[in-house]
Amino acid sequence: VSLIRCLILKAEVQTFIEKCMQSVSTSPSHARSLAEVLVEGDLRGHYSHGLNRLDVYVREIKAGICAKEGEPGIEKESVATALVNGRNLLGPVVGNFCMKLAIKKARDVGIGWVVARDSNHYGIAAYYSMQALKENMIGMSFTNTSPLVVPTRAKECTLGTNPISIAAPAKNGGSFVLDMATSAVALGKVEIHERNGSSIPEGWGCDSQGRVSTDPSKVLNGGGLVPLGGPEITGGHKGYGLGLMVEVFCGMLAGSRYSRHIRTWRDTDRVADLGQCFVAVNPENFAPGFNERMSELLHINRSLEPVGEQVPVLVPGDPERMHIEKCQLLGGIPYPLKVVRHMNEFARSIGVSPALPVNRYIQ
Amino acid sequence: VSLIRCLILKAEVQTFIEKCMQSVSTSPSHARSLAEVLVEGDLRGHYSHGLNRLDVYVREIKAGICAKEGEPGIEKESVATALVNGRNLLGPVVGNFCMKLAIKKARDVGIGWVVARDSNHYGIAAYYSMQALKENMIGMSFTNTSPLVVPTRAKECTLGTNPISIAAPAKNGGSFVLDMATSAVALGKVEIHERNGSSIPEGWGCDSQGRVSTDPSKVLNGGGLVPLGGPEITGGHKGYGLGLMVEVFCGMLAGSRYSRHIRTWRDTDRVADLGQCFVAVNPENFAPGFNERMSELLHINRSLEPVGEQVPVLVPGDPERMHIEKCQLLGGIPYPLKVVRHMNEFARSIGVSPALPVNRYIQ
């Protein structure tokens, strides 16, 4: 059963999420913003940041842990910077507000650097950085997150997976889109192995004593993820440093919660108060020919002879592009039947209908 | 012999480098700027970016590959951004000019984002990011470099070790100073193993077929360094993405050479035309209490119980701080006798005296 997938139209997922969110009195425009980010996450193949998480958002709104209406406010501002109060609104509401502001500033003075406090989970980081592409600008987005990562030499989690996203436009709609956790892998990958009863590769996580472990349950119970780079000998301290860098851009500048002061990811009985950072840089303020150079940089790497015949050399954003193309060919987004059924049950429990259709099976 | 080290006073190294550079007609202020960066590299324990490289700089000036006098110029400017023409001057001359400009803009509007083209090797990246600390600002510096890194799935080097540095001020002179290559390790580490005839750990480099190799000579001859994260299964594609990100900030915005168009690192018969990026962010434009939060963030991590009793949990910048303290205790900078003798021979060959003193031996 776990391998059976069914196809849902993009518009169907969008409407379903909106209805579920509105059923707990989320303002319609906020429900729409959230649905758009989650659908985009699924469409790009990052299912851990999509429909799959809908129940968490609904529960938080229902419990009053997250605000269902209102607008973010600017607390401090210059022509190039802003500090935004997210007013505990849904992450995408805060993120869209900030990114729009950063882009406006970059149009005026070449760069916009906007930091938000009192925000919430915002879905995939690339959703925000990519908004700059439409304006032919570089976009960046960073967020701190609940502690899951153990610093090099330590035994205890003090950092989130603190993602970095940067998007840059090439010619003819091409682009570079980096969207990465600063841990070696995301938590979801470890969870999948635990569910399947398989071991994880060395270099993903450690046990409660800080020892490298290939047992996913040890990593998930008392242990933690390790920073990008793995052990110190292969540069794990650099991944740890990058995680701290994201915290400097987010919690430090924002005055939000940070590091171990952020609630754990299973804890939804207090506000998140996340810090987030959104940047837009306008290439027009620098050397002419940016898009052409970007296209050539991408071409140089994509056209390299690969080590394995079937595994072409890619650039950041290519795997997601391939997943989007697959969805377009299929005519919708493929989901595990299990996930769809779970979501339909959830919707029924909060009185939402109609359910997602489960009649289009695919391989 | 290779283990014997001798102690040189900071001022002695500074003067020696200045004299060598001036002997090939480098303008005195440029010679001083270069000497300051190289001495700081050694003092921080990054010997691969210090005195050790002096002969390369001298040769480039002598051969006319690098300009010996003049000033960088601003080509395009807004209140928050600038594009600088480095005019092929020494890297530190370009770097100091750009960082000063970025800090000035950050004082005015909260952020300064300055990009330089036609620059040269600038020593340790942290030298520039740290300049912002004196102004109680966040500093960043990035540079592209000669191709040494093989993208994930490929066999060929198309990226440099493209370093990222970010410095952020805490309370009472404390700070966070990240300075990292986006490869798993720097080239110098592989060279040391080759010289010693020892193998390298898995996850540092690959051979000419893109296969992980523990043979340093294979990595150095036809192979290359691998991105931070190592193989794809442990996130190497993220390190590759970060290397490209640095290229976006440098070569793409600057309109300098980039990727495989940059000369190889042994090639000194044509100009480098490197791209570099310098950023300052003023915490005063964001939430009050930045320094206090920084200090607590550093404290949280430093006070973690370590896995090994003798290996405390550190934060970025601590290893360098420890090396500086060691030098202060010793009363100078310890160098391998071999390096000092080599440099003295080099100085004699270009008619510079006096030589560095070789009469203070240490363990």
Cα separation, B217 vs A103, in Å, equals 48
Indicate which of B79, B155, B234, B279 best probes the interface with A, i.e. most A CBs within 10 Å of its own CB.
B234
Contact: B229, A255; criterion CB under 8 Å: no
The mean pLDDT value for B315-328 works out to 98
A with B: how many residue pairs have Cβ under 8 Å apart? 269
State whether B235 and A228 contact (CB < 8 Å): yes
**How is residue B275 written in tokens?**
């791209």
Q: Which residue has the higher pLDDT, B287 or B48?
A: B287
CB A206 within 8 A of CB A150: yes
Interchain CB distance below 8 Å, A244 and B316: yes
CATH architecture of the domain covering A1-69+332-363: Orthogonal Bundle (1.10)
Is B74's pLDDT higher than 60? yes
Position B2 scores a pLDDT of 55
pLDDT tens readout for residues A88-123? 999 999 999 999 999 999 999 999 999 999 999 999
**From residue B46, how far is each of A245, B127, B180, B319, B333 by CA, in Å?**
21, 12, 11, 10, 12
Contacts of A109 in chain B (CB under 8 A): 78-81, 109
Predicted pLDDT of residue B362: 86
- Residue B1 pLDDT > 60, yes or no? no
DSSP B224-261: EEPBTT-SGGGTHHHHHHHHHHHHIIIIIHHTS--GGG
pLDDT, tens digit, 9 for 90 and up, residues B166-181: 999 999 999 999 999 9
Candidate from B204, B210, B251 with C-beta closest to A307:
B210
Global pTM value: 0.98
CB–CB of A293 and B156 under 8 A?
no
pLDDT higher than 90, residue B309: no
Using an 8 Å Cβ cutoff, are B118 and B292 in contact?
no
Residue B90, token pair as written in the block: 């020494």
Q: Tell me if B285 and A237 make a contact (CB, 8 A cut-off).
A: no
Mean pLDDT of chain B: 96
Distance between CA atoms of A125 and A190, rounded to whole angstroms?
Answer: 20
Residue B287 with chain A: CB contacts under 8 Å: 83, 115, 117, 253-255
Predicted confidence (pLDDT) per residue in A293-321, tens digit: 999 999 999 999 999 989 999 999 999 99
Subunit contact B78:A110, Cβ cutoff 8 A? yes
Cα of A290 to nearest chain B Cα, Å: 6
Domain spans of chain A, in order of start? 1-69+332-363, 74-184+226-315
Q: Residue B306 is which amino acid?
A: P
Backbone angles phi, psi at A185, to 5 degrees: -140, 165
Q: How far apart are CA A183 and CA B310, in angstroms?
A: 25
pLDDT tens per residue across span A123-148: 999 999 999 999 999 999 999 999 99
Residue with token string 């569910």: A195
In one-letter notation, the amino acid at residue B349 is S
- State pLDDT tens for residues B125-157: 999 999 999 999 999 999 999 999 999 999 999
Q: What percent of chain B has pLDDT over 70?
A: 99
For domain A74-184+226-315, give its CATH number from 3.30.1370.60, 1.10.3720.10, 3.10.20.30, 3.20.20.210. Answer: 3.30.1370.60
Has residue A346 got a pLDDT over 60? yes
